[in-house]
Amino acid sequence: MNEFELIHRLVADLPRNDTVVAGAGDDCAVLDLGLGDRWLLFKTDAVVEGVHFTADTPPEKVGHKAMARCLSDIAAMAGTPSSALVTIGLPKDFSADRVAEIYVGLKATAAKHGVAIVGGETTTNPERIFISIALLGTVEKGKCPLRSGAKNGDAIFVTGELGGSLAGRHLEFEPRLAEARWLAKHFQIHAMMDVSDGLAGDLRHVLKASGVGAELLARAIPVSRAAKVRFKERVTTTPPLVAALTDGEDFELLFTLAAKDAVKLKDEWRAAFPGVPLSCIGKITAAPGLRLRDERGVKELAAHGYTHFT
Amino acid sequence: MNEFELIHRLVADLPRNDTVVAGAGDDCAVLDLGLGDRWLLFKTDAVVEGVHFTADTPPEKVGHKAMARCLSDIAAMAGTPSSALVTIGLPKDFSADRVAEIYVGLKATAAKHGVAIVGGETTTNPERIFISIALLGTVEKGKCPLRSGAKNGDAIFVTGELGGSLAGRHLEFEPRLAEARWLAKHFQIHAMMDVSDGLAGDLRHVLKASGVGAELLARAIPVSRAAKVRFKERVTTTPPLVAALTDGEDFELLFTLAAKDAVKLKDEWRAAFPGVPLSCIGKITAAPGLRLRDERGVKELAAHGYTHFT
C-alpha cells in the first residue's frame, strides 16, 4: 500500500462540521469560522532528518525549508499566512546549537512573510529530528482556487522552472505567496496547487479532483538548468524532461484558467514579475488521462511510466 | 540542557504580529483574527511510539490519546474545539490496519467533541510512529483564563484525581472541555492550565507566569487509587502523594480563583458534575516558591526534590 492508497483509506469517513469549506484533499483546509469576508486556511507539513534533509544540511536552511514548504501551501490557495506553531522531535543527544540555528531559519522565513510563531512543542524522537509546522492563514471568501476547479479548454500554467531541485533549490526556494495573490486578484484562476511531488503527479490530483484530463506540450515545459546539468554531469540518470515532470520539491505554482485569458496573463505577468518565468504548458481536456505531446506525437503518461520517456 | 531550558532559548525572539493575544508559553496560542466576539485558539501536540505509547498499546487508544491531549489544552483555555489536522510519520513497514485503527480512535474522539478532521499528512519516520495533532478552537473574548492571572490569596483547585495515570488513565481520559467552559461561564477564573507534566511542575508554570507563590495542603491533594495501588503492589517505588505531585499525564484542570468564591464553586460544581471530584488543594501566596504543608509543618518543594517526600 503506497502513501496515496493509505490516505484514501484513512480519509474515507473523517468527522466534519459546518465550518468546513474544503477538507482533506486540497493544499490547505478551508474553514469558515465567521471571519467576516475571509476564510481561514489551515495546514501542517513535516520535514524529517534523513528524508527531507540530512545531518549535513546547514541547519538554518532546514528551518527555512520547513517553514517555506508550509507557506507554499498557503500560496497555493492564494492566501496570506498569519501564524505558525513549531513541533520538533529531538533525539536525546541533540545539539542545542543546531536546534537554535534551525530556529534562526524558521524565524527569519516566518518574519519575512509576516508570520508570527506563536508556540509549539519539543518532544522526543530518538533517532532523528522531526519538524512539523502548523500554519494558519486567511483568504478572501470565494477567491481561493481549489484543485477541483479546472475546466475543459483551460490553459495550464506553471511558474518558475522544474526539476533538479535537490541540487539546492529545495533548501532555498521562496514560496510564491505574492505571485499567487496577484493571480487570484487579477484573474479568474480555476484551479491551483503547488508542485511538491512532481508536475505529472501533482497535475493528476487536479485532473482527478476536477474530473477532466490534460495534454502537455513537451517543449513548453520549463526544464531547470539544474536538471540539465545533473543529467549531463551524470549526477542522475533521469533525463531533464523527465526530471521536470517527476522530481518533486519544486514548490512552484501550477494553475489553470480560461484559454481566452492566457495572452493577457502572459503580458501582465511579465510586467508584474519580470524575474519569474511563467509557462503555458498545455491544456485541460474533457477526455480523462494525462498526455504528453512531443515531435513524435502524443503519448499517454502512465502513472509510473515516466522513465520510458527519453 | 533540559527541555525547558531549550524552549526558553528558542522562544526568546519569536516573530510576532498584531493578531497575537497570547503566544508561546500558555496551553494554546490565542489569536485575534477578527472573529467577532471570539478569539481563535491554536495548539499542536505530539505522541511518539516508545515515548507516549508502545507497540503493544491498542491502536484505537493511541488515536484517542493523541486527540484527547490536544483537546485538553483547548479545555485549559475554556475553549470550544473546532478542527484538527493529523500529521503521522510512519516506518516503511507500517501496518495499514494498525494505522487505520489509530484513525478510528482519532476520528471517534474528534467526532465526540464536534471536531472536524480537515486533513493532514503522512510522511516517513523510519523507526517509529510519530503523530502530531494541530487543533483549532475558539473562545469568547476575555473569557480565556491564561497561566498569568493567578493572584495572591486565590484558592487553588484541581479536578479529578492525580498520579498513577500510566496504569491506564493516560490512554482513556476524557478532556475536561465541558467542565472548563462551565467554570469560565459561571466563575471568574484567574488562571487555568491542564495538568500534563505533574501537578508540582505545572503549578510552577502558573506561579512563574503570575509572579506569585503557592502553599499546597498535602492531605487535600486528591491522590488517585491507581497511584496507591501501584505503590502498594510495588509496581513503582514512588509514594502515592509524590506520584500525585509529579507523575504527569493526568490531564485534569488546575485553576485558581478568589478565595471568596471557593465555597460557592464547591456547591455548584457538585450539582453540575456530580461524578467529577473537585479539590481545593491550597492557596496562592505573595511569597514566591512552592510549599507543601503536612502534619509535620511546611516544606519547600524544590524543583527536583520530590523524592524526598515520603
End residue of a domain, out of A115, A140, A165: A140
B10 contacts A118? CB cut-off 8 A: no
**Residues B86 and B197 both lie in one domain:** no
d(CA A282, CA B283): 71
pLDDT score at A1: 67
CATH number, residue A124: 3.30.1330.10
Q: Has residue A7 been placed in a domain?
A: no
Q: Has residue A6 been placed in a domain?
A: no
**Residues B160 and B288 both lie in one domain:** yes
Residue B149 one-letter amino acid: G
pLDDT score at A30: 97
**Residues B65 and B161 both lie in one domain:** no
**Residues A117 and A186 both lie in one domain:** no
Q: In chain B, what residues touch A126 (CB-CB under 8 Å)?
A: 50-51, 127-128
A20 contacts B123? CB cut-off 8 A: no
The ipTM is: 0.93
**Residues B163 and B304 both lie in one domain:** yes
Query: Model confidence over B99-122: pLDDT tens digits?
Result: 999 999 999 999 999 999 999 999
B116 contacts A23? CB cut-off 8 A: yes
d(CA B152, CA B155): 9
Burial string for B154-167 (b: 16+ CB within 10 Å, else e) reads bbbbbbbbbbbbbb
Which residue numbers in chain B have pLDDT < 70? 1, 303-310
Total number of residues shown for chain A: 310
Segment (H or E) for A103: helix A96-112
d(CA B255, CA B190): 7
Q: Has residue A1 been placed in a domain?
A: no
**Residues A159 and A249 both lie in one domain:** yes
**Residues B159 and B132 both lie in one domain:** no
Digit-by-digit pLDDT tens for chain A (310 residues) are 677 788 888 888 999 999 999 999 899 999 999 998 999 999 999 999 999 999 999 999 999 999 999 999 999 999 999 999 999 999 999 999 999 999 999 999 999 999 999 999 999 999 999 999 999 999 999 999 999 999 999 999 999 999 999 999 999 999 999 999 999 999 999 999 999 999 999 999 999 999 999 999 999 999 999 999 999 999 999 999 999 999 999 999 999 999 999 999 999 999 999 999 999 999 999 999 999 999 999 999 976 544 334 3
B15 contacts A111? CB cut-off 8 A: yes
- Give the closest-approach CA distance of A40 to chain B in angstroms: 9
* Mutation target among A13, A118, A131 for the B interface, most CBs of B within 10 A: A118
Please give the backbone phi and psi of residue A237, each rounded to the nearest 5 degrees, phi first: -100, 5
Query: Model confidence over B158-215: pLDDT tens digits?
Result: 999 999 999 999 999 999 999 999 999 999 999 999 999 999 999 999 999 999 999 9
CATH number, residue B205: 3.90.650.10
- Beta-carbon contacts of residue A186 (< 8 Å; ≥ 6 apart): A268
**Residues A86 and A221 both lie in one domain:** no
B82 contacts A17? CB cut-off 8 A: yes
**Residues B47 and B96 both lie in one domain:** yes
**Residues A115 and A35 both lie in one domain:** yes
Number of domains comprising chain B: 2
The helix/strand/coil state of A86 is strand
**Residues B91 and B174 both lie in one domain:** no
The helix/strand/coil state of B200 is helix
End residue of a domain, out of B77, B106, B140: B140
Domain range spanning residue A250?
A: 147-308
End residue of a domain, out of B140, B169, B188: B140
**Residues A232 and A284 both lie in one domain:** yes
Residue B6 is nearest to which of A15, A23, A122, comparing CB atoms? A122
Q: Has residue A3 been placed in a domain?
A: no
pLDDT score at B282: 98
Q: What angle do CA B200, B22, A98 make, to 5 degrees?
A: 75
pLDDT score at A10: 86
